[in-house]
Structure 1
Amino acid sequence: MVGRSGIPFPTEGIDPQTRHGTVAPGTGGDMRSAPKTLLAWLCDRDRLPYGRFENRFAKTGERLFGRDPNNPTCGETQFRRWTGGKLVGLPGPDTCQVLEAMWPGHTAEQLFGPPPQTDPQAPAFDLEERVRMTAREAHDGADATAAASISDNTIDELRDQVVTLARTYHTRPPAQAYDDADKLRQDIESHRDRTQVPVQQQDLMILNGQTAALSAVAAFDLGYFPSARSLARTASLYGETSRFAPLQAFADGTLAYIAYHTGDATEAVAKANRALSHGGLGDVAHQRLHSIQARAYAHLGDVAASQRAIQLSGEAEHNLRDELHDVVGGEFGFSAERLAMSTSTTALLIGDAWQAETAARRALALLAHKPHGQQSAHVRAGAAADLAHARLLADDVDGAAEALAPVWEVPVDQRKTGIVVRAARIRRHLSQPPYHGAQLPRELRERIEDFTRVSPPYRIGPLVGLLAIEA
């Protein structure tokens, strides 16, 4: 199924069996009988009746083994036996490998074993969801009395939701962040239809643009580069229409890094320069944009311009603030450790291993001094990967292996495009002839392959994303 913003979302879609009400008893949506195996429990949780299960099973097999007529298959009768706890022993090794790839973190023995007895997080989640829905329904009911306008409190409530989404983005899997942003966008759009007051229309356009910008970031993190580009342009258009320059600048900066990740360094430099031309920007905005500009010049091969942009990104301290990068902050902000991580990545591109290691160490040190809830696993993993890459340039394989420890800790659903790209570069470096036959480089290559294989950009991203990552 394709979402409203053009992104095919993996958890959406209606199976033909579900559409006609003929899902398998006890699996894939029928809650009348308790699941007999963990596999059945997971199928219920992920809404996978046989038709959708078989389709995902076949696609996973193709990803693992290529288009081969000997790939393992699963007929409907076999599916009933698997989910009904009627299997004696385990299927063949290829079949087990496919199932384990479908649900990373679970072994075949676990999948055909008993389901979990309890879900300790469910009561808290259900209560939280009930409280949230009650609060929203109560507020919407009170607001329904408005006619040609809506309450300013409604706009304040929507603004708070945008701020919360931006400030908690680093804690959310990108798929969830995209879904939350899209739902919020639809909510904001519905309120735009209910007011004719110009100032309220402008406020809602700005909020709509912010959700589009967050959706663009999430789409990029998932590897959906064309859709990310479209969403960033949408955000820029909202910024232009509402005369909100910080949103235009953020969107142009996003378009710049999408451009250099898809191999268009010249376009990336142009977009970064245009982003910096907008007025009314604070120090944080200038730091972010100069950092993006530095990376764009590095991809273009202009070392002097890249170093100059790195210098400017560290000098942007004029006590200037703006309403997006500073007041909303979060994903719209650009923390000191994120700046240091970006500098380390750019330094690697221009071949300055010493600067890369220094900046990566600084990023990790700054992150360690922040409260745990404010630490970004993505920034930590990105800086760690850069540190490992810098050590490899000094032929310190043991040091690189040590530096990579935080990378392996990133949960599967939070392995965003940035860390996948960095890991792929390390794997390519370790594939050079001097490392052939050496045990540790081979183990690191294999571990990186396993790490990236189950990441969202590889599991659900389109082909164009994979090609850009491998480039």
Structure 2
Amino acid sequence: MDEGRRTVLFRLATSKGIRSHRAFSEAYARVAQQLRSEGYDVAPAPGARHYERLLTVGGVKTAPYAPTARVLERMFERPIGDLLRSVAEDPLAEREESGSASSPPVLNESELLMTARDAASHSGEAAALRLDEMTLDQLHDDLVKLSRKYGCTAPGEVFQEANNLLRQVQLNLERTRSPEQHTRLYYAAAQASALLAAVSFDLGALAPAVSFARSAAQYGKTIDHGPVQAYAYGMMAFMAFWDGRPSESVRLAKTAQRFGGLGDTARRRLYAIEARAYGHLRADGQAQHAIRAALEQTSGHRDELHDDIGGEFGFDAARTAMSNATTCLLLRDPTGAEEFASTALSLLSGRPEHEAPIVVAGPAAIDLARARLMRNEVEGAQEALTPVFKVAPGWRGSGMMERLVAARIELTRPQFRGAPAAVSLAEQIEDFTALSPARRLGAQSPLAIEA
């Protein structure tokens, strides 16, 4: 420890040979017993963590309460305020050191053995502050499982599980001093925060979603993990165009692409998000360029987060096609939108029903319906929306709701006015969106899927 960060208590405990928590606690107990026999109120010895903070300047925000301070003052014969000062500010330290310089201490074997025992005790305490590896393995497995079932689990359930996992991580960070375990735990915290960002967005809570995404990015920065930072910045880019800031979205997406260690999946996702942002800007050429870049990520490069863990962190061909369909709708290109949406639904149709992620299948079906409405095909739109209208209320995330709002706006065009099929479809959309969790949380419908 840097000399300037040591307290006077650290120096005095070391000089008395009671630097380890075990030796200190034994000495503290003896003095406390003596004070108790004199009629004073005393407190038990500080725990190991509290003791370590007392040895560091600024380690505690306030001085110990009187029952503890009383024992410390008797042990070291100094006021509690002096004991918590920096050694560098202690006026008695220099005199004590100069006084001892002229007559160096004579050590004997018993003193050396006691010091060795103290060192062994302290090292044992440090070793004890390490988590069982199985605890970290279980956290990792739980996060992988949650990410992979994200698209097939109701948003409210995902939020509860991710929140519980983040709390476990934060608690375990206080229980270990191992740098290696801290790295694993910060990575887990980044994943949990990223999942909370995604599900908060699905629930229509944009402000908490942005906050969780920033937390994920910060955790990733702490351990210099490129893929998790890129994922978090991609989330922030996604939320920026949803919040009506497409230029900021482009900037964030390009920043995310510069992180190291990214595989093809990560880059495909970021280019798709960039394309959406350009779609909001009505920048047709740049949007199409980003769409092509997303489809060209076939080098075979992988990273653990996006490829090995995957799930919500992944971005497969179906999800890419769904996102590109939305971009085409922003550019008022119904042909391209229908092609991409149909591709997404075709890719998903080969999976068992319980494995097809609603967060992809639902938006793709709605985009297909909207593309058909742009070509005045109300019956085709009704057909595309039939499976969507069967989605239970708890699964109706904001991505689906915003797309349906845009489809409802398409039905206000003059050519649909008074048409029974159009009126019926509009009423179904209104009834469906009224029961979504996002609507109950007060989500707005700003720029996200512009009509």
8 Å CA contact retained: 1:412, 1:454: yes
Letter in structure 1 aligned against 2:170: E
1:276 CA drift (Å) = 0.8
SS of residue in 2 equivalent to 1:168: helix
8 Å CA contact retained: 2:242, 2:446: no
Candidates 260, 266, 274, aligned match of 1:279:
260
SS of residue in 1 equivalent to 2:315: coil
1:469 CA drift (Å) = 6.5
Aligned to 2:279: 298
Q: Could you tell me how far apart the structure 2 residues matched to 1:466 and 1:222 are?
A: 13
Q: Could you tell me how far apart the structure 2 residues matched to 1:231 and 1:324 are?
A: 17
8 Å CA contact retained: 2:402, 2:445: no
Aligned to 2:442: 462
SS of residue in 1 equivalent to 2:298: coil
Aligned to 1:434: 415
1:192-271 matched pairs, under 5 angstroms: 192-271=173-252
1:26-105 matched pairs, under 5 angstroms: none
CA separation of 1:466 and 1:394: change in aligned 2, threshold 3 A:
closer
Letter in structure 2 aligned against 1:329: G
Gaps of 5+ in 1: 1-144
CA separation of 1:319 and 1:294: change in aligned 2, threshold 3 A:
same
CA separation of 1:166 and 1:286: change in aligned 2, threshold 3 A:
same
8 Å CA contact retained: 1:223, 1:466: no
1:52-451 matched pairs, under 5 angstroms: 147-451=128-432
Letter in structure 2 aligned against 1:205: Y
Q: Could you tell me how far apart the structure 1 residues matched to 2:145 and 2:377 are?
A: 42
8 Å CA contact retained: 2:241, 2:447: no
Q: Could you tell me how far apart the structure 1 residues matched to 2:127 and 2:182 are?
A: 15
8 Å CA contact retained: 1:209, 1:247: yes
Letter in structure 2 aligned against 1:396: E
Q: Could you tell me how far apart the structure 1 residues matched to 2:380 and 2:200 are?
A: 33
SS of residue in 2 equivalent to 1:360: helix
Q: Could you tell me how far apart the structure 1 residues matched to 2:354 and 2:375 are?
A: 34
1:458 CA drift (Å) = 0.4
Q: Could you tell me how far apart the structure 1 residues matched to 2:261 and 2:434 are?
A: 43
CA separation of 1:466 and 1:175: change in aligned 2, threshold 3 A:
farther
Letter in structure 2 aligned against 1:451: F
Deviations 1:249-299 (A, max 9, x none): 000000011111111111111111111111110011011111101001111
Letter in structure 2 aligned against 1:323: E
Q: Could you tell me how far apart the structure 1 residues matched to 2:322 and 2:355 are?
A: 16
Deviations 1:342-390 (A, max 9, x none): 1111111111111111111111110011233321123222111111111
8 Å CA contact retained: 2:403, 2:449: no
1:467 CA drift (Å) = 5.1
Q: Could you tell me how far apart the structure 1 residues matched to 2:339 and 2:447 are?
A: 28
For this pair of structures, how many residues does the alignment match? 325
> Considering only CA atoms, is the larger Rg found in Structure 1 or Structure 2?
2
Could you tell me the TM-score, scaled by structure 1's length? 0.67
1:462 CA drift (Å) = 3.2
Q: Could you tell me how far apart the structure 1 residues matched to 2:187 and 2:240 are?
A: 24
1:421 CA drift (Å) = 0.8
Aligned residues with identical type, % of pairs: 40
Letter in structure 1 aligned against 2:325: S
8 Å CA contact retained: 2:244, 2:446: no
8 Å CA contact retained: 1:290, 1:309: yes
8 Å CA contact retained: 1:291, 1:310: yes
Q: Could you tell me how far apart the structure 1 residues matched to 2:130 and 2:155 are?
A: 34
CA separation of 1:469 and 1:445: change in aligned 2, threshold 3 A:
farther
1:171 CA drift (Å) = 1.5
1:174 CA drift (Å) = 0.8
Letter in structure 1 aligned against 2:327: T
SS of residue in 2 equivalent to 1:318: coil
8 Å CA contact retained: 1:294, 1:310: yes
Q: Could you tell me how far apart the structure 1 residues matched to 2:311 and 2:289 are?
A: 27
8 Å CA contact retained: 1:272, 1:293: yes
1:470 CA drift (Å) = 8.8
Deviations 1:412-464 (A, max 9, x none): 100111110110000011012222211111111111111100001101x235x
Report the aligned-residue RMSD: 1.5
Q: Could you tell me how far apart the structure 1 residues matched to 2:182 and 2:306 are?
A: 22
Of structures 1 and 2, the one scoring higher in RCO (CA 8 A, sep 6+) is 2
Letter in structure 2 aligned against 1:233: R
1:468 CA drift (Å) = 5.9
1:168 CA drift (Å) = 0.8
